[in-house]
Amino acid sequence: MIAAALVVPVSAAAQSATPAQGTAPVAGSGPQAAATADGPQSASDVAVLDKSFDERQQVLNQRTDDNNYQFAVAQHNCYSRFFVNHCLNRARDAMRSVQADIRKEQLALDAEQRAQRARERDERTALRRAQNEAEAPQRAAEDARNEQAYQEKQRQHALDQAQHNAEAPQREANAQAYAEKQRQHALDQAQRNAAAPQHEANAQAYEEKQRQHALDQAQRGVTPAQAAANQKAYDQKQSDYQRKLEEARRQGAQKAAERQQKQETFERKQAEAAQHKLDVEARQKQAAEKAGQKRQDELKQQQLEEQQKQQQEQQ
C-alpha cells in the first residue's frame, strides 16, 4: 500500500508534465532556424522572424505556466499521501527538469533574438554608411557653394567697409556743414526775433507817416486821384533815377574794366620792351665778346707768323 501511494503521485506528475513538453517546439529547427542562419534581407523577412520569435516566446511562457500548474497539482496531491516529503521531492525534481528544458530553449531564443537585433543594427549602420557615401558628393558640392557664398559675402563686406571708410570724410564734412547751417539758421532766427520789435515800430511809423501824409494832402486840397497821379509820377521818377544810376554804374564798371585791360596791355608791352632790351644787350654783349675773341685770335696768328719768319731768317 505504501509503495503504491508513492508511485501514483509521481506517475501523475510525470503524465501531467508530458503534454507540456510535447507542445514545445524544438529550438533551432524549422524555418526559423533557416531564417536565422541566412539572415533576413527584407522587411517582410524581418516581420516574419519577429512573429516567429513572439510565437516561440508565447509557447515557452505557456509551458512555464503549465509546468507550474502541474507542480502545484502534484504538490497538492502529495499532501494526501503517506510519504509526503518523498512525493514532494519527486514532483519538484520533475518540475525542475521541465524548467531546465524551458530555460535552455529560452536561452537559445534569447541568443537568436540578440543575433537578429545585431544583424538589424549592422544593416541599419551599413545602410546609413552607404547613404552617407552616396550623399558625400552632394554634401561636398553644397559645402563648396556655401564656402563660395561665404567668401563672396566677406568680399562684399570688405568692399562696403572700404567704401564706408572712404566716405567718412565726406560724411563728416556734410555733418559739419549741416551743423554750421543749423547754427546760422539759429543766428538768423535770433536776429529776426531781435529785430521784430524794430520792424513793428518801423511799420507803425510808416503807417503814421502815411496817415499824416494823407492828412496833409487833404489839407492842401489834393484829391486822391491827384495824389495817386503824383505818387505814380514820383515812382516813375524814382524808377528813372534807379535806371540811370544802374546805367552809370554799368558804364563805370565797363570803363574800369577797359582801363584795367589797357593797364594790363601797357604793362605787357612794357615787359616785352624790357625783355627786348635785355635781348638786344645780350646780343651786343655776345657780338663784342666774339669781336674781342677774333682780335685775340688774329693777334696770336700774327705773333705766330712773326715767330716762324724769325726762325726762317735765323736758319
Each residue of 239-278: pLDDT tens digit?
A: 898 899 999 999 989 999 999 999 999 999 999 999 999 9
CA-CA-CA-CA torsion sign (132, 135, 136, 140): negative
Structure confidence at residue 224 (pLDDT): 73
Q: Is the pLDDT of residue 286 over 60?
A: yes
- Which range of 11-25, 146-160, 297-311 scores highest in mean pLDDT? It is 146-160
Residues of the chain with pLDDT > 70, as a percent, come to 86
User: Is 66 or 17 the better-scoring residue by pLDDT?
Assistant: 66
Residues 24 and 63: their CA atoms lie apart, in Å, by 7
Given a cut of 90, whether residue 309 has pLDDT beyond it is no
Q: Per-residue pLDDT for 104 more than 50?
A: yes
C-beta of residue 8 within 8 angstroms of C-beta of residue 74: no
Distances (CA, A) of 245 to 33, 197, 232, 235, 249: 129, 33, 19, 15, 6
Per-residue pLDDT reduced to its tens digit, 223-243: 777 778 888 888 898 889 889
Taking residues 289-295, report their average pLDDT. Answer: 90
Quote the percentage of the chain above a pLDDT of 90.
39
pLDDT per residue as tens digits for the range 125-180: 999 999 999 999 999 999 999 999 999 999 999 999 998 988 889 988 899 899 99
Q: Cβ distance 82 to 5 under 8 Å? A: yes
The helix (run of H) or strand (run of E) holding residue 186 is: helix 168-220
**pLDDT for 94:** 93
Residue 7: pLDDT over 50 = no
Please say whether the beta carbons of 96 and 13 come within 8 A: no
In tens, the pLDDT along 31-52 reads: 444 444 444 456 677 778 778 8
Work out the average pLDDT over 63-92.
93
Predicted structure pTM score: 0.34
- The answer to whether 80 and 22 are in contact (CB under 8 A) is no
- Comparing CA positions, the residue from 193, 10, 137 lying closest to residue 86 is 10
pLDDT at 73: 94
What's the pLDDT score for residue 215?
77
What local confidence, expressed as pLDDT, does residue 197 receive? 87
User: Where does the pLDDT of residue 209 fall: very low under 50, low under 70, confident under 90, or very high at 90 and above?
Assistant: confident
Average pLDDT over residues 210-216: 78
> Higher pLDDT residue, 281 or 15?
281
Per-residue pLDDT at 41:
53
Asked whether residue 105 carries a pLDDT value surpassing 50, the answer given is: yes
